[in-house]
């Protein structure tokens, strides 16, 4: 059978057990500009490659400030990232208004992962075609999270997503032992 019979909506499973729409969304993350995040005991840092597709076009932002204690780096579809960033900003403001305290970063990122995953359950929706690296600081210190279009959520020490992420991951793995101290950051 042709693969096109199984990629018309997100809830149709192929005979080999895949959701092709989710695979397409993950492919858009892999084709996006490289973004990376590093976390130490005292700091968390995001970095992203801003590339212009044309000499006449400007590059798009890949790092967004969400709140005073939260930021994201993206790889994939920028429009989807802006939707999620707006949702995150709204949730931060609502929490600050209701509880007079900043939202815990892990809770907000868990909500974002749930939004990613919910898009894989309805046939009239498509998965978000963006991967996020989220850094946040709370009472427990800095955190680095990764979300994927399938709804997976990971808390990490260092991570890279996007185009040529494997080379960045290899470099980060080699430097991983020097991250916790955070005293001498000479990585970039």
Q: What residue has token string 């970063």?
A: 105
C-alpha dihedral, 86 to 108 to 27 to 18, nearest 10°: -130
* Segment 43-99, tens digit of pLDDT: 899 999 887 777 777 778 899 999 999 999 999 989 999 999 999 999 999 999 999
Residue 182 has pLDDT above 80, yes or no: no
Q: What's the chain's average pLDDT?
A: 84
**Separation CA 178–CA 115 (nearest Å):** 34
- 131, 74 in Cβ contact below 8 A? yes
């Amino acid at each position: 059978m042709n693969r096109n019979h199984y990629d018309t909506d997100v809830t149709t499973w192929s005979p080999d057990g895949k959701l092709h729409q989710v695979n397409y969304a993950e492919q858009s993350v892999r084709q996006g500009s490289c973004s990376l995040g590093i976390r130490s005991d005292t700091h968390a840092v995001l970095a992203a490659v801003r590339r212009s597709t044309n000499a006449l076009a400007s590059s798009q932002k890949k790092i967004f400030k969400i709140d005073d204690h939260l930021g994201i780096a993206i790889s994939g579809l920028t429009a989807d990232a802006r939707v999620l960033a707006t949702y995150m900003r709204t949730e931060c403001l609502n929490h600050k208004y209701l509880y007079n305290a900043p939202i815990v970063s892990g809770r907000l990122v868990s909500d974002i992962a749930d939004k990613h995953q919910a898009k894989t359950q309805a046939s009239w929706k498509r998965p978000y075609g963006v991967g996020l690296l989220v850094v946040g600081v709370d009472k427990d210190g800095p955190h680095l999270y990764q979300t994927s279009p399938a709804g997976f959520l990971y808390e990490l020490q260092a991570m890279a997503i996007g185009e040529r992420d494997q080379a960045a991951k290899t470099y980060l793995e080699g430097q991983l032992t020097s991250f916790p101290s955070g005293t001498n950051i000479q990585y970039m």
